[in-house]
Homo-oligomer: A and B are copies of this chain.
């Protein structure tokens, strides 16, 4: 793709700029993107048809006389996100059949749009006359935001304006409706319009869209949606649920509904990038740090609470009830990438890499057609699987189908997140095999990362004179191999190779992929006394299906005397490197009459049984074989980490 989801204005106050060309051509991500392109995205129209989304549009267009279908007001956003995904896919690879499907849906959206530009079938078909009246839950601006993003993607991918015109008509209606002294002076309960409007400003050059985005960002936290939302007599998170509890610039930590929080911060980051405002940038850096230091799972997943789909308190990170919605991982990547461009700091892409390979990718099955809405780090043997369960079993589609098309659009636009450029040269943030042009030069990345740590970068084009190829060194790599030598990880994470390059010149980077036995800060109480296995960017897990018959996952503890080994298994889960470890079976525990508490040594249950060979698989590949127990955090024999 030549232009991805973010195209900065010339005056943007960003340290780095997205690549002007980015293609993933092989390796790990190419395979996942191939499934996305050949299975997930092509299925979209059928899924949207059977779920009723397209029927809703026909009803709004007067082409059918059917009732609104769907449990939620934001059904249209699934269509918009699929159109965005399909557009980025078209930008990557021409496909006449896909292009035709896209045109049909665009035509349907255009037909469904009201003369004044309004477009949301929930209020057109189900509740006519009630538009803009339920800003907390109506999701009207949220849907508009996704429509705008889809339209921009389609325009950038195809150069055509059919969908952009629909989006601009809706945006104009919103601009006439919202604002001080206008019909509505309030925000949407679900942020999303903010980032979309800044990008619309970037796409059209019309300042009014940036101003409208600023209005929405600035109005947050001033009670335009008063709190008081309850369930079972408990306030969920009041204004935090709608991101209306505290102004962005005053916030001390990420809170409330995780997707809403991070879509808002992505939009605020876009705004700070275009305005250069220091106070907003500082708030965003503070909030990102609060998220990373106490509210992010080892997998990069975020959102610890089912209740309100929300961030928990700092260090409240239960592995079993982790919500870690797939959409929240995507929102974290979107926020992080904007901060990476704004600040030029490598730490944002450190987390993006972790999130992409773990908490995000777990959301889509290896087959590209079964999905996870939530991404827990533990499923017990006693887990009560139920019909309609979406917490520990992959599902073909959801009644709330926000995640699948969201995964599709991120995979389709993934090349955009790999590299950037500035006046000095090109920065490689990720190591997906492919070709990236930025900063006045172009490079080709080759290798079989993350299975193999050896990455070969060829400089295809570089300006005459000194030019910098900057390579991000992940924080888990204390030192890396470089050509014939070894270098320590630079403090800022950027290994800068500044020299005069001859086209075709190659650099070999070797990232150390030793198995890491990882523990958690003792304040993360829920995983005290356990460790996780990591290798490179991958977090591993044990699944019941890989255990010998009769061995129960929840009775196992890792043998601390034993060093896990890595072994590539081409035939397993599409080809993964597994980690083999040794566990010991704990003696049966439990107090009298099944009471699970007792004097310490009686309940200690320190593993004493025979050794059991364990095979850990990448977390992102879990739940692709059978329902059953899974854990990322593994107890260790003889106590734990704190």
A residues near B (Cβ < 8 Å) are 71-72, 227-228, 230-235, 237-238, 240, 253, 255, 289, 292-294, 298, 305-309, 312-316, 318-321, 347, 373-374, 378, 380, 382-384, 386-391, 398-402, 475, 516-532, 554, 557, 586, 589-607, 633, 635, 637-642
Contact = CB atoms under 8 A, between A and B. Distances in A.
A390 B231 CA distance: 12
SS class of chain A's interface: helix, strand, loop or mixed?
loop
Contact of A293 (B230, B596, B635): B596
Contact of A292 (B319, B595, B607, B638): B595
A597 B315 CA distance: 11
B589 A523 contact: yes
A294 to B, nearest CB: 6
A599 B516 contact: yes
Given A307-B306, A382-B294, A400-B233, A528 B597 contact: no
A525 B638 contact: no
Nearest to A234: B390
16 contacts: A235-B390, A313-B383, A315-B554, A319-B525, A517-B600, A518-B603, A519-B597, A519-B599, A523-B589, A524-B596, A528-B528, A529-B640, A603-B642, A604-B642, A606-B642, A635-B642
Question: How many identical subunits does the complex contain?
Answer: 2
Contact of A313 (B230, B384, B524): B384
Contacts of A231: 231
A639 B638 CA distance: 8
Given A235-B388, A600-B531, A642-B529, A593 B316 contact: no
Contact of A518 (B378, B599, B641): B599
Given A314-B382, A603-B521, A593 B306 contact: no
A245 to B, nearest CB: 8
B641 A600 contact: yes
Given A307-B306, A320-B316, A378-B525, A642 B518 contact: no
A191 to B, nearest CB: 16
Contacts of A527: 525
Between A525, A530, A589, A590, the greatest number of chain B beta carbons within 10 A of the residue's beta carbon is seen for A525
Contacts of A306: 234, 305-307
Contacts of A309: 232
